[in-house]
Structure 1
Amino acid sequence: MEISGIISAIVIGIVIGVLGRLVVPGRQHIGIVLTILVGIAAALIGSAIANAFGVADTKGIDWIEWLIQIGLAALGVAALDRSRARR
């Protein structure tokens, strides 16, 4: 992954984190900073998964890559919310 890909994944990760939080039903008890960090991690991991499956570089918008990233962000937000709720 090139440096431009990492930078774009970080910027897109902010959006991915917010979208992932919107996908999870109910109220989440985590802050916006943790949501953004989960989104950045989901964007980076989702890009790597999309590259591994060969669906990252398509003509136009990479919908499959976006869905992978949003799904990972939703899982991350839900897991973090569950772990913070038990404390």
Structure 2
Amino acid sequence: MGIIYALLIGAAAGWLAGKIMKGGGFGTLLNIILGIVGGIVGNWVFNLLGIHIGTGIIGDLLTGVIGAVLILFLAGLFKK
């Protein structure tokens, strides 16, 4: 059940980050990958800063979205 949860939260986080940063999603597979990696990055950044978002679906989704937005922002800097 944990893998299905991670895939669903990852897909939602990646889709939301795509909407925030570019105005559209990137396709299901890339949204899932972006959301999962975003969750990892978000957890790492929040741990460095000593920030605790919370637990549960909302906390996981917020962490994934914020991490994915950071990834997209940094990728945009390297594109230019």
If the TM-score is normalised by the length of the shorter chain, which range does it land in?
0.5 to 0.7
1:36 maps to 32
**Percent identity over paired residues:** 25
Question: Unaligned stretches of 5+ in structure 2?
Answer: none
Question: Unaligned stretches of 5+ in structure 1?
Answer: none
Checking the alignment, whether the CA contact within 8 Å between 2:15 and 2:24 is kept in structure 1 is: no
- Are 1:55 and 2:52 an aligned pair? yes
- Are 1:21 and 2:4 an aligned pair? no
AA paired with 2:39? A
How far does the alpha carbon of each residue in 1:11-46 deviate from its partner, in whole angstroms, 9 at most, with x for none?
311110000001014567x54422321111001222
1:70 is matched with which residue: 57, 65, 73?
65
Number of matched residues?
75
Coordinate RMSD, CA, aligned: 3.8
Name the TM-score, length of structure 1 as normaliser.
0.52
Whole-angstrom CA distance in 1 between matches of 2:11 and 2:24: 19
- Are 1:46 and 2:42 an aligned pair? yes
More helix by share: 2
Deviation at 1:47, TM superposition (A): 3.0
Checking the alignment, whether the CA contact within 8 Å between 2:13 and 2:64 is kept in structure 1 is: yes
Deviation above 6 Å: which 4+ runs of structure 1?
Answer: none
